[in-house]
Chain A
Amino acid sequence: MNDMAPTREQREAKLEGMGCKRKRVEDARFTQGKGNYVDDLKLPGMLHGDFVRSPYAHARVKSINTEAALKVPGVLAVITAETLKTVNLAWMPTLAGDVQMVLADGKVLFQNQEVAFVVATDRYAADDGINAVDVEYEALPVVIDPFHAMDADAPVLREDIAGKMTGAHGPRKHANHIFEWSVGDKDLTDVAFRKADVSIKEMLSYQRVHPCPLETCQCVASFDKVSGDLTIWGTFQAPHVIRTVVALIASLPEQKIHVISPDVGGGFGNKVGAYPGYICAAVASIVTGKPVKWVEDRIENLTSTSFARDYHMTTEIAATKEGKVTGLRVHVLADHGAFDACADPSKWPAGFFNIVTGSYDFPTAHVCVDGIYSNKAPGGVAYRCSFRVTEASYCIERGMDILAQKLGMDPAELRLKNFIRPEQFPYQSALGWEYDSGDYATAMKKMMESVQYAELRKEQAIKREAFKLGETREVMGIGVSFFTEIVGAGPSKNCDILGIAMFDSCEIRLHPTGAGIARVGTKSTGQGHETTWAQIIATEIGIPADRIMVEEGNTDTAPYGLGTYGSRSTPVAGAAIATAARKIKAKAQMIAAYRLEVHEDDLEWDIDGFRVKGLPEKTMSMKDICWAAYNSVPPGMEPGLEAVSYYDPPNMTYPFGAYICVMDIDVDTGVYKVRRFYALDDCGTRINPMIIEGQVHGGLTEAFAIAMGQEIRYDETGNVVTGSFMDFFMPTAVETPHWETDFTVTPSPHHPIGAKGVGESPNVGGVPAFSNAVNDAFAFLGSTHIQMPHDYWRNWQAAKTLGVV
């Protein structure tokens, strides 16, 4: 008897395509210590560079004396702003249309700002050199509290633009003002508030935090004086963008610049921007003719390469007495630090903060954001969220809870009453977005049933009575959050970075034996693209995922892409992969028709190949088509089987989810215990459920850290007081709660495979769920809002303020 032909199920399973929990191909190297991270790179004659940094938050640099440092054994050069001026690189442009000092030019504007770059034979000698550089400073008054940045007598921070009253985003109102960005109908919104039965107003602060990937920012730059080629290996989330930035600011021909992101140890937004370390390493390599490595340490990472949030949001919601929302008004004071180095699409100085109407049908809304300078580190990256989306989500989700409290309504009921309904999609929001798809009430009700929401509220009522009677010292909080994200930046009509549209790309090349390589413009920093991109291709063209090699991060070989951040990889590059695969499939169909001697239209797709309609035994597998593509294509057709796709998305995608956190807090100690955390995510089509769950676990853990303890805090003189893991809250396995995950599936109607992106949802939805739980715990004692982070000390302070301790 012949071998049994594989069943359809066996053929499907062999592909390991979309929807399967495929184990990761990356793990073989990562579990054996064979990853290839930047600091693992060692080149012959490689030097090490490291920074002299400012101890002051604001000071004039009177002099820099490098004489003693140059005598230190092993030190070869000390680069200062004066050196950089000779190559016109003392300042560099930022992604936000501002300029930033690469090295201190006359003054310093934040603590740990880069002042000089010492280049030496090894990292220890570089450190000796740093200690021998003598810098004379004259301290200046500082701006730390953003609410005083625009005081009449506030010190002028940016003397370089002091006289310029117009910035990259319009008029500036004060020397320390960067931009005002407003959107929505102000007049209509004012009317809504005048007519409102009920309204709330609260200043909601989202503290400054840091993405803090476990691997810090680092690079190796190597300039070849003979060929004029500059190669930079770095921890880049967007390697092509870095190549173009280097070409523009260093006036080097772009084909001579080779940017390579090897394995990257987490990004979370930290590794999107261009930092002085990259510029200095490149200049040092040009000056010395040797490769130069720069590796920042953890303190440098937390205090200088970017930050996230620092948004202070005065939030107002108008509603009817029945709880129907009628208007939203938000003013944001955005602290951008010393330079406006926000990593947002160029036209969006406050990112996509105008997603702040959230999941609710607001008839009108108005948002105004004022960006200001302060003596803090520059940045403003999207830390595990699309641009300023987590701030927006926190704003509306806290706001809705505060409104529910004022109305005496259940927060879940208030949300259900105001959701955008399924039949309203595609939905035009009052602040200008077109939501693609959603079924909010279904997700919300599934969450409520899963956790037995009504029972939890009953238990809470009993516990509150017991507390009032003095029978317990614990208060119970239930934090509901229902977020809508906006990810997948983005359509060329409104998204670009330095003028480059935010498309993404994929090139697939199939080999004769039924295998292939896919090169993609994104860069995994832990998301597992080598695994999941192959799954998309497997489903689309029937070649098993384990026969597809995925390559990213090399600008010489990958097609131009805008990189990985803002949950854009699946919405944009995922679509490019699917469309490239479909181009291949179209050619494959022509080859199959020719070989089977039928018309193309007589063929239909069947898992891993084509078959003739009505003649199921007459088939040609993709494997055989691959071979045929290299020896017997139809007359007039080019041989080979490859395709490139650059995908310009027609719209953003709008993932959503329903989260709930149940927490008990001891008022005498402020110690909280997360009893339960349930997260339901709807990210559209699910490519690999195992990886999705992993992303949700990780994002929730970062949300937990932010809401419950993380803060980059400055004292009144501008010293960073949370600059190491000693003070900056990093949850261990002990503090981290257990996560329950769930899902619904509402595909994106405009995405080729219906996927929406998920990596950042748990951070966006998680932070308000935690904060709402803490606030809900204390609400019955008369509190309306307690600022994050909700660590033990602050919880205890809250209890004290409320008079129960």
Chain B
Amino acid sequence: MAKTHVTMKVNGNEVEGLVEPRLLLVHFIRDNLQLTGTHIGCETTHCGACTIDIDGMSVKSCTMFAVQADGADILTIEGVANADGTLSAVQEGFRAMHGLQCGFCTPGMIVRAHRLLQENPSPSEEDIRMGISGNLCRCTGYQNIVKAIQYAAAKINGTEFKEAAE
């Protein structure tokens, strides 16, 4: 099958590749670029494990072709940490609030939360729940993920984080 040349910026690095037009973006990221933090949980755009950030928007990379991302600026979980290598506020929140268990949904969830907090720096619990409703988690029941994102929002905003009573 004829291949197409694509270039994109991934986590700040210029990358390129020769790809079949049918190659899914998630496979380009995982197999060609070997950035395996982005996961595949359903291949029908329901679970959100493959969520990445493209040009400032959350996108499920399992139902987008690599050729459609030609020229795009992409952020994956591997690019979320702070420049000095420390955990970002969102990553730290997930650890502090036990917002993950098996870890499989976590990269997509964190990349989504990262974008959510740019869209809405002070989300309510309802905003957070709606904002991550494209990302499924089978382990946590979401409650601690909500807390993790609240923790991150407080840290970014420099406000005090108060854990809601159960």
Contact = CB atoms under 8 A, between A and B. Distances in A.
Do the two chains belong together in a single complex? Answer: yes
Interface of A: 23-24, 26-35, 37, 39-40, 42, 123-124, 212-216, 263-266, 268, 297-298, 525-528, 690-691, 693-695, 697-702, 724-726, 730, 732-734, 736, 738-741
B5 interface: no
Contact of A733 (B41, B102, B133, B138): B133
Given A39-B36, A214-B102, A698-B139, 12 more contacts: A30-B106, A32-B77, A35-B104, A123-B27, A265-B39, A266-B101, A266-B138, A697-B143, A724-B44, A730-B136, A736-B129, A738-B143
27 contacts: A27-B103, A28-B95, A30-B103, A32-B78, A33-B35, A33-B80, A35-B37, A37-B36, A37-B39, A37-B104, A214-B49, A215-B41, A266-B104, A266-B138, A526-B101, A690-B98, A694-B140, A698-B101, A702-B138, A724-B44, A726-B44, A730-B138, A733-B130, A733-B132, A733-B135, A733-B145, A739-B141
A35 B103 contact: yes
A46 to B, nearest CB: 10
Given A124-B22, A212-B138, A298 B42 contact: yes
B34 interface: yes
Interface in B68-119: 76-78, 80-81, 87, 91, 94-96, 98, 100-107, 110
B148 to A, nearest CB: 10
Secondary structure dominating the interface of B: loop
Nearest to B166: A740
A35 B77 CA distance: 11
Contacts of A741: 166
Interface in B119-148: 128-130, 132-146
B57 interface: no
Contacts of B55: none
Nearest to A29: B103
B91 A725 contact: no
A351 B30 CA distance: 40
A216 B27 CA distance: 16
A32 B42 contact: no
B143 A739 contact: yes
Contact of A725 (B44, B76, B94, B140): B44
B23 interface: yes
A297 B100 CA distance: 23
Contact of B76 (A28, A33, A213, A697): A33
B39 A215 contact: yes
B133 A32 contact: no
Contacts of B22: 124
Interface residues of B, number: 59
Q: Which of B43, B105, B143 has the most CB of A within 10 A?
A: B143
Given A27-B95, A527-B101, A33 B38 contact: yes
Nearest to A741: B166
Contacts of B30: 39-40
A693 B38 CA distance: 27
B25 interface: no
Contacts of B94: 27, 31
A27 B142 CA distance: 16
B160 interface: no
A736 B42 CA distance: 20
A527 B98 CA distance: 11
Contacts of A695: 101
A32 B39 contact: no
Secondary structure dominating the interface of A: loop
B40 A39 contact: yes
Given A214-B49, A265-B39, A691-B98, A734 B129 contact: yes
B52 to A, nearest CB: 11
Contacts of B144: 694, 697
A358 B78 CA distance: 48
A30 B78 CA distance: 11
Contacts of B141: 697-701, 736, 739
Contacts of B98: 23-24, 690-691, 693-694
A212 B137 CA distance: 11
B45 to A, nearest CB: 9
Contacts of A701: 138, 140-142
B14 interface: no
Nearest to A702: B138
Contact of B142 (A33, A215, A266, A733): A733
Nearest to B164: A738
B35 A30 contact: no
B95 A31 contact: yes
B22 to A, nearest CB: 7
Q: Which of A30, A31, A698 has the most CB of B within 10 A?
A: A31
A26 B103 contact: yes
Given A26-B103, A32-B80, A733-B132, A213 B140 contact: no
Nearest to B134: A732
Contacts of B37: 32-35
A31 B106 contact: yes
B147 to A, nearest CB: 11
B46 interface: yes
B47 interface: yes
Contacts of A39: 30, 36, 39-40
Contact of A526 (B42, B103, B134, B142): B103
Which 8 pairs, one residue from A and one from B, show the smallest C-beta to C-beta distance?
Answer: A33-B37, A265-B104, A526-B102, A30-B103, A33-B77, A697-B141, A725-B46, A701-B141
Contact of A694 (B34, B101, B110): B101
B166 to A, nearest CB: 5
Q: Which of B31, B49, B103 has the most CB of A within 10 A?
A: B103
Contacts of B136: 214, 725, 730, 732
